[in-house]
Amino acid sequence: MGLGNELPQGALAGLKVIDMASLYAAPLAATIMADFGADVLKVEPPEGDPFRGSKMWPIVARGKRCLALDLRSPDGIAALRELAAEADVVVENYPAAVLAKRGIGWNELSAINPKLIMLSVSCFGATGPYADRPGSGTIGEGFGGLTWLMGESEGPPMLPSVALGDAVGAMSAVIGTLSALYWRDRNGRGQQVDASLYEPILQIVAHAAQRWAPGESPGRCGSRLPGVLRNVYRTVDGRFVAISASTARHEADLLTLAGGMGDHDARVAGWIGGLRQAEVVEALVVRRIPVAPVNTLDELLADVHVRERGSLLHIESERLGDLALAAPTPRLSASPGRIGDVNPPLGHDVADALSWWRS
């Protein structure tokens, strides 16, 4: 059985990546590399990846070739080692002890291929007392302090309604991988990239840390930020706008529009509450005050700016139904990313995989 259609050329064309990971964050890192042209071979268990057939599948598998390997069997392990000998990158999220027991951990694969980059994704990282604990982006959000900061001041901590930690963790993992590849180009040696899911969250909460003093952890502020006129406001037509008046000029102009006296946020909320969403956006854009409508997914797909840039793609798949996929980002002027096959088939021929891998 073949391994899918030819991939488009891109900035990472020729980069050979083995994605032997499961779930979301680690496979998404490999997907981002595939979006930019890397040749990614996704290794699945013989029964197929758990996400196969779901609408998560295009996110974790698009643009990849897929190969069934039983990494609990000697034959599957031998095939992976043969592939890794010629790979640039291996992406994994297994417990380190499991990989070492099977002979496919960092020490074993780097001995076979000294130029290999192994991207190891885990919640807590490869070192430290919690290294062996299981986790996901959600666990990283809670442990990293983001959950504590989300929600209203009098309410409980809240998780975001999206897999934020996994997506941010994947982007951080790609940065580490590309940095390791650049270093290899100058030094000729591979290395392991230890990408935790909680540490990128610390970059998100760093702004709140500026309010920190020993024994006084910052708390929840809803949609507000201390020191900044920033919030989500309801308009008279039942919709919402997001505003961040982050400079003194922005704030002064916004308060002039709002009029009245007293609490700044209440003044702005009262003024916006008497206008339609489109009227608020127009009034603030004219004065170059940062504002945006709070969009639903349907509104994003219909938005003229999103449509012209192709930022969010509506794809109709015979097997998976209607899909909304974010276009590869950031934009490259000469070698932009592209969305590959959203439903790659599961290959079973190791010889076919090796032939493609060596071509």
DSSP track, 327-351: PPSS--SSS------SS--EE--HH
pLDDT band at residue 358 using 50, 70 and 90 as cut-offs = confident
Q: Is the pLDDT of residue 88 over 50?
A: yes
Percentage of residues in the chain with pLDDT exceeding 70? 98
Q: What is the pLDDT of residue 213?
A: 84
Please give the helix or strand (H or E) that residue 309 lies within, else none. helix 304-309
Cβ-in-10-Å burial (0-12, 13-18, 19+) of 165 comes to buried
Maximum alpha-carbon separation in the chain: 75
Nearest to 268 by CA among 291, 288, 286: 291
pLDDT band at residue 168 using 50, 70 and 90 as cut-offs = very high
Taking the alpha carbons of 253, 254, 258, 261 in that order, is the dihedral positive or negative? negative
CA distance 6 to 4: 7
> What is the layout of strands, in order, in the sheet containing 240-245?
229-234, 240-245, 291-293
Q: Is the pLDDT of residue 19 over 70?
A: yes
Q: Is the pLDDT of residue 3 over 50?
A: no
Token reading at 91: 């992406």
pLDDT digits (tens, 9 = 90+) for 298-314: 999 999 999 999 998 88
Q: What average pLDDT does range 206-235 have in this prediction?
A: 88
Q: Which residues of 44-55 are buried (b: 16+ CB within 10 A; e: fewer)?
A: beeeebebbeee
Q: What is the pLDDT of residue 175?
A: 97
Least confident of 84-93, 184-193, 306-315, 317-326: 317-326
In the three-class reduction of DSSP (H, G, I as helix; E, B as strand; rest coil), residue 55 is classed as coil
Q: Residue 268 in contact with residue 254, Cβ under 8 Å?
A: yes
Please give the sequence-ordered ranges of beta strands (E in DSSP) within 197-255, or none if there are none.
Answer: 229-234, 240-245
Compute the mean pLDDT over every residue in the chain, rounded to the nearest whole number.
92
Q: Is the pLDDT of residue 148 over 60?
A: yes
pLDDT band at residue 248 using 50, 70 and 90 as cut-offs = very high
Token reading at 341: 């096959």
Q: What is the pLDDT of residue 4?
A: 45
Q: Is the pLDDT of residue 7 over 70?
A: no
Please give the helix or strand (H or E) that residue 182 lies within, else none. helix 164-187
Q: What is the pLDDT of residue 296?
A: 93
Q: What average pLDDT does range 100-122 have in this prediction?
A: 97
Taking the alpha carbons of 79, 187, 125, 51 in that order, is the dihedral positive or negative? negative
pTM over 0.85: yes
Nearest to 69 by CA among 95, 37, 92, 35: 92
> Which residues pair with residue 230 across a beta bridge?
244
pLDDT digits (tens, 9 = 90+) for 312-348: 888 888 888 888 899 999 999 889 999 999 888 888 7
pLDDT band at residue 45 using 50, 70 and 90 as cut-offs = very high
Query: What residues are labeled active site?
Result: 166
